[in-house]
Structures are given as structure tokens and as C-alpha cells.
Amino acid sequence: MKINPILQKDIKTKLRGWRSVILICSYVTLLIFILLIYFVGNDLIYSYTMPSFNPRVAIGGYNLLITFQFALLYLAVPAIIATSISSERERQTLDLMLVTKTPAREIIAGKILVSIAHILLLLIASMPVVGVVFFFGGIGFPDLLKLIFFYILTSLFVASSGVFFSTIFKRNIVSIITTYIFLGLMTFGPFLGFFAYSLLNQMTFSPTYRSIALSLFPSPVFGFLSFYFSGTSHYDIFGSYYGHGLFSSIAYEFEVLIASETGLLRYMQPWIVNGIFSVLFSLLLILLSSAALNPVRRKK
């Protein structure tokens, strides 16, 4: 099996260093600290008695934990990948890579695979922390697999954007800033446009899942809403004992909107809609990056 040479080189040179160990330890420690503070604040760290034990709160802890995990992933990947090509150019090693037999598309793909490998390493290391919620029930292993798969798709989208701007711009700081601005527009721009349209047409506008999906599909935050648990079944059985938090309320509203759909879109969860866009848009950025990096222009 042939391994991408750029991926093979970076794994040997970067993942074996002490920086990777410190990064993994710091990441897992932060997640443990967040989960511990949440459990202490909701009296889940003490003896489990019916007046104090609330499984709904444990589900809320899972929602909070994956939110921090998604935010760290979304902020960390651009810092790792946005300097992948521009740093090679600043170190004057890009020309050495281009004169080898490695095609430009493999160089671009290798840089993207390196960032995804870093993210997978962090996700695998954090699984024992996320798995704590299994003791409380309500979260299944398939739900966790779907979450990891969505993280990979989001990492592909973010990494492709970072490599594209790193290929275009020669300086690291310019490529990093441009990548964050672009990702900010892609993430929050659809929400701002949707809210502005709903405010201007509030007398006649009735939001449906179809209209929301058609407006917000480019935003990874829209896809991430699929992984919030509302606990509506527990709420119906036990009444107000379980209650609803902010994350659960958002998940509940989306469950109602999706259930009201009658067509094929009913089976298209937000993470599927956004995942399809992430894959297609990432392929486009990879092709553009390869064309911009390739120093040879073949004439017809």
C-alpha cells in the first residue's frame, strides 16, 4: 500500500516530537476539567440519590463537552494547516518539493491528510472522556461514530480552506488571518443572512426545515446541531423532572421541524446536508490549490 510521501514525512517528523505529546495531554486535560466542573456544578459528583441524580443533566454535559470539542477543532485546524504551504515557501523548501516526482495534487492532499491525522489523534485520545456519559445512558455508540465522522468531514473542509489560502499567499500571517475570516463568513454568514431575511419578512415568513437547510447548508454549525440531544422521550415520561437546557431546546426545535417534512429532506439530517457540501467544496478547493501550486503550465 502506497502512503502519501508528504503524510509519511510529517508523521515521522512531527508526531514523534514532544510538542504532540504536550498538545494531546493539554487537550484531554481541558476536556476533563470542563466535564468535572459541569458535574460538580450539577451535583453529579456526589452520591447518586433520586433527589440529586438527574440523567438529563448528564446528557447536557455531553452536549456541552462536544460543543467545546467542536470549537477547539474548528479553531485549531486553521492554525495547523494555514501555514502548510506558505511556511515551506518561507523556509525555501517548497522548490525542493516541487522538483521531485511528487505531483502537486499529492502535495496538497498530503498536507490535508496531516491535519486530519492530528485531529483523529486528538479525537481518539479524548474518547475516554466523552465515554463517561455512557455510564448515565441516553448516548449510544453509533451516535459517537456519527459525531467522529462529522468531525472528519469538517476537518476536511477547514483543512482544504487553509491549504488553499496558504497556497495563494506567501506569508504565514496573511494566510492564517484570511483563513479565519473566510471560515467565519462561511460559518456565521448564512445565519446572519437567514435572520435578516426573516426579520424583513416576519409577517409572511414561516420557517420550515427546507428553508433553513437551503439557507444554512454551508455552515458547519448547522450540521453540528444534529448531535445535540433533546431527551424529548425522557421529558414526556418524567415530565418536568428532566427539564431542558439551551442545547436541548435547539435540538428539540430541529426534531419538530424535521418531523414535519414529508419529502426526501426528512431523512437528510443537518450533518448530512452540510457534510455533502463540505466534501464537494473541499474537492473544488483541492483542485484549485493544485492548479495554483503546479509550476508547469502545459500548452495545448
pLDDT of residue 175: 87
Distance CA 117, CA 121 (A): 6
3-state secondary structure the chain: CCCCHHHHHHHHHHCCCHHHHHHHHHHHHHHHHHHHHHHHHCCCCCCCCCCCCCHHHHHHHHHHHHHHHHHHHHHHHHHHHCCHHHHHHHCCCHHHHHCCCCCHHHHHHHHHHHHHHHHHHHHHHHHHHHHHHHHCCCCCHHHHHHHHHHHHHHHHHHHHHHHHHHHHCCCHHHHHHHHHHHHHHHHHHHHHHHHHHHHHCCCCCCCCHHHHHHHHCCCHHHHHHHHCCCCHHHHHHHHHHCCCCHHHHHHHHHHHHHHCCCCHHHHCCHHHHHHHHHHHHHHHHHHHHHHHHCCCCCCC
pLDDT of residue 269: 84
pLDDT of residue 79: 79
Distance CA 123, CA 5 (A): 24
Contact 189, 258 (CB under 8 A): no
pLDDT tens track, the chain, 300 positions = 567 777 777 777 766 667 778 878 888 888 888 888 877 776 666 655 445 555 666 677 788 888 888 888 888 778 778 777 877 777 777 777 777 777 788 888 888 888 888 888 888 888 888 777 777 666 777 888 888 899 999 989 998 998 899 888 888 888 889 999 999 999 999 888 888 887 887 766 677 778 888 888 899 988 888 887 655 443 333 333 334 455 566 666 767 777 777 777 777 888 898 999 999 999 999 999 888 887 665 444
Q: Which residues contact 247 (CB under 8 A, 6 or more apart)?
A: 60, 63, 64, 67, 228, 229
State the distance between the two ends of the chain, measured CA to CA, in whole angstroms.
35
pLDDT of residue 185: 93
Cβ atoms within 10 A of the Cβ of 207, count?
13
pLDDT of residue 232: 47
Contact 209, 261 (CB under 8 A): yes
Contact 73, 35 (CB under 8 A): no
Q: Inter-axis angle of helices 104-130 and 270-293, to 10 degrees?
A: 150
pLDDT of residue 241: 34
Contact 274, 190 (CB under 8 A): no
Q: Where are the domains of the chain?
A: 5-293
